[in-house]
């Protein structure tokens, strides 16, 4: 039986007359990394804020660990670590002092644990630096340290790689994968950076204009990505004549651009098309079997929906 750590039923949020989250039915499976993908303003942050009780829903239901968080807040929320947008910490304090406040208030203050998580996010060397002097990447890393300090069962991370350099992104990606795969932590992560979600998530939720359009597993996603063969030819006119003779239809079976033709049907016959081109005196410079990337899929998917 599938166990959902996060489940929402028709979750909605309206500001004045503007419905920023519209009947979202989200299902985050235990132990999985769920990537919430959407443009800026799609409703990702508001949805996460409602899950964390920072924003009150206008309608719908939330279940965390199978329970109503309004009734079982003391039991549920200590199991969650989170980052919402840029992490906020006390600017006059160091990373250690900020984590000490969190640990003390939570009631599980442990200096060794703080040092350990600071090492995990590469902030152990900046002991005396105050938060106000942190770079954006350092702030983000401290946010992650605060989120994992108490060994949560669920991480809700809103754009956690914002401001990180490529090395930092790689480190955080590795850390999150480790937390999920080695420790079984469920992760809900939002991003507008498609490649990041593609690299990380087991399941992707596509969100646009406050609506969760679909939830697709990574395997299912690859099945649904359009595949095509790309021919780069010396004479596009002659190549198109070959396709026309075979009664292939433009825009449905193929598209073209300069000297490149993209074939979307009959992909298993690409060697035969290549032979026909050569027979017609066309030099075929490249034949690539390609797959639509997530960005192209996202654009197509959102515009279709």
Partner 1 sequence: MLTFIEMEFLKLKRSNIFLLSLIGAILPPLLMFIAVFAFDEGHTFELLFSNVNMYMSALFAILLYAIMISYLFGREYNEHTLKTMLTIPVSRGKFLLSKYVMFLVWILILTVVTTLSTMVLGFVAGLDGFSLKLFIDSFAQLLFANVLLFLTFSPFVFISLFITNMVPAMVGGAGLALVNMMIYGQTWAPYVPWVCPYLIASGEIAEYSSSITLSYAVILATFAIGLVISYIYFTKTDVSL
Q: Which parts of this chain interact with partner 1 (CB under 8 A)? A: 45, 49, 52-56, 73-74, 77-78, 80, 82, 84-93, 97, 100-102, 104-107, 130, 146
Whole-angstrom Cα distance, residue 36 to residue 33?
Answer: 10
Q: Of the two residues 90 and 183, which places its CB atom closer to partner 1 in the complex?
A: 90
Q: Answer whether 35's CB lies under 8 Å from 191's CB.
A: yes
184 CB burial (10 A radius; 0-12, 13-18, 19+): exposed
Whole-angstrom Cα distance, residue 89 to residue 69?
Answer: 25
State the minimum distance, in angstroms, from the CB of residue 218 to partner 1: 28
Q: How far is C-alpha 194 from the chain's CA centre?
A: 6
Q: Of the two residues 8 and 45, which places its CB atom closer to partner 1 in the complex?
A: 45
State the minimum distance, in angstroms, from the CB of residue 55 to partner 1: 4
Measure the N-to-C terminal CA separation of the chain; round to a whole number of Å. Answer: 30
Q: Measuring CA to CA, how many Å separate 266 from each of 246, 269, 281?
A: 11, 5, 22
State the minimum distance, in angstroms, from the CB of residue 163 to partner 1: 14
Q: Of the two residues 155 and 164, which places its CB atom closer to partner 1 in the complex?
A: 155
Q: Of the two residues 83 and 179, which places its CB atom closer to partner 1 in the complex?
A: 83
Backbone angles phi, psi at 236, to 5 degrees: -70, -35
Q: Of the two residues 79 and 218, which places its CB atom closer to partner 1 in the complex?
A: 79
Q: How far is C-alpha 136 from the chain's CA centre?
A: 20
Q: Answer whether 234's CB lies under 8 Å from 283's CB.
A: yes
Q: How many CA atoms lie within 13 A of 34 on its CB side?
A: 26
Nearby residues of 213 by Cβ (< 8 Å), 6 or more positions away: 206, 207, 301, 302, 305
Backbone angles phi, psi at 12, to 5 degrees: -140, 155
Q: Of the two residues 90 and 167, which places its CB atom closer to partner 1 in the complex?
A: 90
State the minimum distance, in angstroms, from the CB of residue 288 to partner 1: 44
Q: How many CB atoms lie within 10 A of CB 123?
A: 21
Q: Of the two residues 80 and 261, which places its CB atom closer to partner 1 in the complex?
A: 80
The three-state secondary structure class of 84 is coil
State the minimum distance, in angstroms, from the CB of residue 48 to partner 1: 10
Q: Of the two residues 23 and 53, which places its CB atom closer to partner 1 in the complex?
A: 53
State the minimum distance, in angstroms, from the CB of residue 139 to partner 1: 10
State the minimum distance, in angstroms, from the CB of residue 103 to partner 1: 9
State the minimum distance, in angstroms, from the CB of residue 54 to partner 1: 4
């Amino acid at each position: 039986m599938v166990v959902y750590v996060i489940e929402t039923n028709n979750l909605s949020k309206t500001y004045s007359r503007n419905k920023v989250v519209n009947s979202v039915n989200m299902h985050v499976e235990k132990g999985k990394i769920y990537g919430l993908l959407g443009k800026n303003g799609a409703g990702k942050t508001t949805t996460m804020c409602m899950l964390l009780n920072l924003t009150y829903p206008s309608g719908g239901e939330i279940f965390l660990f199978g329970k109503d968080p309004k009734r079982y807040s003391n039991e549920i929320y200590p199991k969650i670590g989170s980052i919402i947008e840029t992490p906020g910490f006390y600017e006059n304090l160091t990373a250690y002092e900020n984590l000490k406040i969190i640990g003390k208030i939570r009631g599980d203050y442990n200096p060794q644990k703080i040092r350990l998580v600071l090492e995990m996010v590469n902030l152990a060397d900046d002991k005396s630096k105050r938060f106000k002097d942190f770079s954006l990447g350092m702030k983000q890393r401290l946010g992650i340290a605060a989120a994992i300090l108490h060994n949560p069962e669920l991480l809700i991370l809103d754009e956690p790689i914002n401001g990180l350099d490529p090395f930092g992104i790689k480190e955080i990606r590795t850390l999150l994968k480790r937390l999920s795969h080695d420790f079984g932590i469920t992760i809900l992560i939002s991003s507008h950076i498609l490649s990041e979600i593609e690299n990380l998530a087991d399941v992707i939720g596509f969100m646009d204009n406050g609506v969760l359009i679909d939830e697709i597993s990574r395997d299912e996603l690859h099945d649904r990505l359009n595949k095509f063969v790309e021919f780069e030819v010396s004479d596009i006119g002659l190549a198109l004549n070959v396709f026309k003779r075979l009664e292939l239809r433009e825009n449905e079976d193929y598209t073209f651009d300069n000297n490149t033709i993209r074939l979307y049907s009959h992909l298993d016959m690409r060697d035969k098309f290549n032979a026909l081109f050569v027979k017609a005196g066309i030099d075929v410079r490249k034949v690539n079997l390609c797959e639509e990337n997530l960005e192209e899929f996202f654009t197509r998917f959102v515009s279709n929906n």
